[in-house]
Every structure is written in C-alpha cells, then in structure tokens.
Amino acid sequence: FDCVNTLSDQLLENVRVDLVLPEGFIARAVIPCTKLPYSEVGSTYVIVEFPNDVPSSVATLCATLKFIVKDCDPATGQPDSHEGYDDEYILEDLEITLADQWSITTQMNNVHEPIYADNAQRRGELKNILVINGDNY
C-alpha cells in the first residue's frame, strides 16, 4: 500500500494496514512504514497467503490504516514531543479476483521448452502419420 501524509501538522509513525481476512486466508507478515512526514510517499506491505481452494480465494477484504500520530510544527516538520497517540482511518474494501492472482510471462517458450524437450526424449522420433480420433490416415 502506498501512503501519503496530507496533514502538515502531523508526523505519522508505524503506518500499517490491518486487513480483516476471510476464513482460509493467513496474514504471514506486516511490514510497516516506520515514518511518514507531511507530503511524502511511504509504503507498507501485508503478506497474505491465499487459500488453496481457488473459489475461496475470491474475496472482499476490509482494510484499516493504523498509525501513531505525533503533532509537529508545520514549518519544520519536527514533532512537538516524543509521545504520540494511536489513530486509524478506514480504507475502501479491497476486492481480490482471480485476475489478481495470475502471473503473466512474456517468455512462454521458455516455460514450455522443458515440457516439450521431456516429451520428445520419451517418445522419440515421430513418423509422418496423421492420427484423427485414433484412426491412422
């Protein structure tokens, strides 16, 4: 998740996204953005393991941005104190579809070459025979 702090009088720390995961999904790790000053872009990550059952992997996830707020001087961006307070912001739901789970490769020949090579070695050389529905022509 890419985040931007739009509040000039606040420094955000420990910025992370909390996902409500349906059954079968497992959150493996959350990587927070440690510090997010005003007008800067920061990233936070949630590593999610999807269910093995493909139909169950299509889901809607509720997401909440959680962070620690430190009030700061808008002119300098420096926090007023070392202490902050917890806050959160509800994000739009995250739709996971089958299309989100596909990986496209531009090198399809490289993917299939080992399969073809293996078949050619096992079957050997093919004769010039056309076979349709099991009948020789």
Task: Tell me the domains of the chain and their CATH numbers.
Answer: 2-101 (2.60.40.1480)
Nearest C-alpha neighbor of 101 from the set 48, 62, 63, 64: 48
Q: What is the pLDDT of residues 70-127, one digit of tens each?
A: 999 888 888 888 899 999 999 999 999 988 877 666 665 565 565 555 555 555 555 5
Can you tell me which residue has the tokens 């073809």? Answer: 116
Looking at the predicted structure, is the pLDDT value of residue 27 above 50? yes
Per-residue confidence band for 137, with pLDDT thresholds at 50, 70 and 90? very low
Q: What is the pTM of this model?
A: 0.70
The values of phi and psi at residue 128, to 5°, are -80, 70
Per-residue confidence band for 131, with pLDDT thresholds at 50, 70 and 90? low
DSSP calls for 28-62: EEEE-EEEE-BT-EEE-EEEEEPPSSGGGG-EEEE
Half-sphere exposure of 131 (CA within 13 A, CB side): 5
The values of phi and psi at residue 67, to 5°, are -165, 170
